[in-house]
Amino acid sequence: MLKFNFSGFKHECGTDEAGRGCLAGPVTAAALILPDNFRNNLLNDSKQLSEKNREILKPIIENEALSFAVTHLEPLIIDEINILNASIKAMQESILKLNPTPLYIIVDGNRFKPVNDIPHTTIVKGDSKFMSIAAASVLAKTYRDEYMNKIHEEFPMYNWRQNKGYPTKEHREAIRKYGPTKYHRMTFRLLPEQLSLDL
């Protein structure tokens, strides 16, 4: 059963990201503040939900949240500052777009950097413990999936509509055959044998 509030503060914000382990596409973060009376029996960590249930929840969360924001950070930025920093930056940018400004932030995972002077707590597996983080995980995942479906039209041979940029066998085969695109993260090991390049 998901808990509603961690800090006891009103306007507590939950934040989470999607796409950290992907070879292509952005890392996407969402942040939101839920009203005190928000309850939804369907809501869970987005990884535990079917795509259909995530799509059902997305408009409910958007309509009922006091405020929500989503941020995509492109592969160029991921390659420049690394995936952990990019994930944190995407969450921070989403939080800064919220109105009202949150009084407390709860973050999925174990790493974060402060946003202004707002107190925060990192919570491992927070998306399966707190409603606001679970709701943020649903938005991050659905918005990122939408983005991947869109760029799939541009490069259908990688089948991003199916694999969403994750390192599936099929995705790696396509990289081997066609090479990387502008949406691939060049600092990631795109192919398993990249460690032993003949130099």
Q: Are 158 and 24 in contact (CB under 8 A)?
A: yes
Within-domain flag for 171: no
Average pLDDT over residues 109-120: 96
Average pLDDT over residues 93-101: 97
Within-domain flag for 22: yes
Within-domain flag for 174: no
Q: Residue 197: pLDDT above 70?
A: no
Mean per-residue pLDDT of the chain = 94
Q: Residue 72: pLDDT above 50?
A: yes
Domain that holds residue 18: 12-148
Classify 17 as helix, strand or coil.
strand
In 3D, which of 170, 144, 166 has the Cα closest to residue 24?
166
Report the pLDDT value the prediction gives residue 196, as an integer from 0 to 100. 47
Average pLDDT over residues 80-99: 98
CATH number at residue 34: 3.30.420.10
Within-domain flag for 47: yes
Report the pLDDT value the prediction gives residue 29, as an integer from 0 to 100. 98
**pTM of full prediction above 0.85:** yes
Report the pLDDT value the prediction gives residue 47, as an integer from 0 to 100. 78
Within-domain flag for 137: yes
Q: How confident is the model at residue 48 (pLDDT cuts 50, 70, 90)?
A: confident
**Structure token digits, residue 78:** 């991921």
Q: What proportion of the chain, given as a percentage, has pLDDT over 90? A: 90
In angstroms, the CA 121 to CA 130 distance is 12
Within-domain flag for 180: no
* Other Cβ atoms within 10 Å of 58 Cβ, number: 17
Report the pLDDT value the prediction gives residue 194, as an integer from 0 to 100. 58
C-alpha of 88 from chain center = 10
Q: What proportion of the chain, given as a percentage, has pLDDT over 70? A: 96
In 3D, which of 187, 184, 182, 153 has the Cα closest to residue 171?
184
Q: Write down the residue that tokens 């509603």 correspond to.
A: 4
Our count of domains for the chain comes to: 1
* Other Cβ atoms within 10 Å of 5 Cβ, number: 16
Our CA dihedral for 23, 30, 53, 167, rounded to 10 degrees, sits at 10
Within-domain flag for 54: yes
Q: How confident is the model at residue 120 (pLDDT cuts 50, 70, 90)?
A: very high
